[in-house]
A and B are shown apart, each in its own frame.
Chain A
């Protein structure tokens, strides 16, 4: 489960990075806001589907706003990337505190009755597990098709590889970057929903904790490269599940950083970046 959720979160993060060169430290809050949106809508409508859509929509709009109000605004002024990076950290705390004001700092429960577990292969599954895996695979497939085959997807890659050349080719890089953040926000908001479903409780710093693991996975795979990131996320996710299952979930973060440290020492540009034929770009 962690692997599936992590790969969605990490791909969204890496897309944000790809078109702006800014590591968005408020990425976790997209997941958190997605989770709260899902909770609110679920309570009102009683529909998990409506909750999922609300999470994605809230995430998309939040990411769009982050890009327009902070990231793009600073980029246009020629602000150094490091400063923008710090600004997104500030934004993260602002959003967390707004959530505390609105919803309180305490954990809220978000449990969906998932029915009796059943056996499939060597594992025990619940309906929620299945929903998470299947939806993550479907979203991944759709993202792959968009990024590799559509005109927008090619423009996205062009902007990420060389913004000036994209512009002189006639691509409006600002529009492509905004649309990419929106798309990433949809995915991250939905990831917040399934993470909340799978954990069962959350609070305003919920996404921030998961973001640290997301960062590990994205950097391990190769930042800014959608499908390398995804493979990195799956490996880190499976490793974490292993540690969580056999040692203690309390060591998750420490273990994630250990993986990151090893990767940075051995392959500073990411596990798959120098592979002759990279999975994607």
Chain B
């Protein structure tokens, strides 16, 4: 017999998830996995249901079918405020900081569920995001778009998550900020976090992703290593474009 080592437990496993907003399901029977120390990407056309999938995983909407596991234990249907304590952090696409709180207060809120070490964690994150340190007492609504995204990432990281879920972190940013965001995401990945990311810029995203899923009309369409999908004719035709 071929004695293969058992596959390590995925940091996040989603099996056959179906969810929506009360009407017909927006995503149906979607399955994905994300591993520690890897970037996992979800790409697909606008309206495919990518954000909805993330909200269902994060506990903001209740799935009507399917199961979600964080580090091997089932968390299906648990509310968002409980999932954070299980090591799952979610950074929404828009409205991802508290505008009238200061940067420090935003981070304190990110660490709301921590029993201890909030101050120390903030200091650690200031090393990863040095821009934030200098303006710790400024309100978040005074930050530039790039800084705001950095703050949103840092808020999510306050709980030392096993899984970090990012909904289009570089959307709407100038290209030089997009590069900086990807650098941070790579650094976060290197600290053995499972990063699950949605992005608009499919080509750049697939370059970074160890594994990627293509979601179309609320259902799994394709999956594979990011580099392979970059060379897949269907993916290139539909979502990347030959010239971009």
Contacts and interface: CB of A to CB of B under 8 A. Distances in A.
Q: Do chains A and B interact in one complex?
A: yes
Interface of A: 78, 151, 154-155, 157-158, 161-162, 164-173, 278, 281
A99 B234 CA distance: 71
A205 to B, nearest CB: 36
B193 interface: no
A222 to B, nearest CB: 12
A155 B109 contact: yes
Contact of B101 (A157, A164, A168): A157
A170 B100 contact: no
Interface in B66-110: 79-81, 83-85, 89-90, 92, 95-101, 105, 108-110
A33 B201 CA distance: 59
B92 A171 contact: no
B81 A158 contact: no
A173 B81 contact: yes
B60 A154 contact: no
B142 to A, nearest CB: 9
By secondary structure, the B interface counts as: loop
A171 B98 contact: no
B159 interface: yes
A172 B81 contact: yes
B105 A154 contact: yes
8 contacts: A78-B22, A157-B98, A157-B100, A161-B100, A168-B80, A168-B84, A171-B112, A281-B100
Nearest to A175: B81
Contact of B81 (A157, A170, A281): A170
Contact of A167 (B81, B98, B108, B155): B81
A278 B113 CA distance: 29
A170 B84 contact: yes
Given A155-B109, A164-B92, A278-B100, 7 more contacts: A78-B22, A155-B112, A158-B98, A158-B101, A165-B92, A168-B92, A169-B110
A158 to B, nearest CB: 5
